[in-house]
Amino acid sequence: MKKISTIATFALVLISIMFTGCKLEEKKASIQPSSNSESENTKAEKNEKKLYMQGDFYKIYETDQQNETSYEYCIYDKQNNILDTGTTSNRPSEISSLGNNIIKNYQLLGMSIFRTRYYDIANKKMSKWFSSAIAETTEKVAYLDFTVGTTKVFVQDIFNENAKIDEYPIKPLAANEIITDAKFSTDKLIITYENIENGDQKTITIKLKK
């Protein structure tokens, strides 16, 4: 009787282990995602990238992810090779041609903060980023430097970072004054600014160094 009892007990234990194993296998199977489910999740998480705008030597793509829109710009040389690429959030780059195969990439970063980069498509050249650029030709750029108590205008070659940078101090703009226009004219830089409260306009003419 003792032997039969021992055998019966062993059989019960064995059946219990087998039953538990089956339950574990069923549990694993129940939490294992199906191939279709995995494909759907991957598709949902994948960024949707679409062409937003294009022109001569550039393309801008729009990407939506987690309720935020970003924009990728690509600048190409004449052989259709990528010269520069980057991403901005919420608003795209404003890309335009200055003529003579020079492309301008303007980015508004927020409020009155902006930066500009230039590309010589024919010669595969790219400038540094200029903060607060207010005027340019296909060869030179004028940009502002704001410091406490003073405002300066810098003029330099666009693509030669080692070239001399000319500096021109000007009267600081008041809090209610903004620059509305600036342009190079022969040997001068003409800057127009406006009082945003009453609309009065004034002009600053800078004689450029030779």
Write down the domain spans for the chain: 47-131, 134-210
Mean per-residue pLDDT pooled into runs of 10, the chain (210 residues): 39 42 42 44 60 96 89 96 95 96 95 92 96 96 84 95 93 89 96 95 94
pLDDT tens string 136-165: 999 999 999 877 677 899 999 999 989 999
Number of H helices, E strands in the chain: 2, 16
* CA 27 to chain CA mean position, Å: 47
pTM of the model: 0.75
- Rounded CA gap, 187 and 208, in Å? 5
> 75: closest CA among 84, 86, 62, 67?
84
**pLDDT for position 210:** 82
The CA distances from residue 29 to 24, 36, 40, 147, in Å, are 9, 15, 19, 66
Output the pLDDT for position 35: 44
User: What is the percentage of the chain residues whose pLDDT exceeds 90?
Assistant: 64
* Cβ–Cβ < 8 Å for 201, 177: no
Q: Residue 164: phi, psi to the nearest 5? A: -65, 140
pLDDT on residue 56: 93
The SS3 of residue 19 is helix
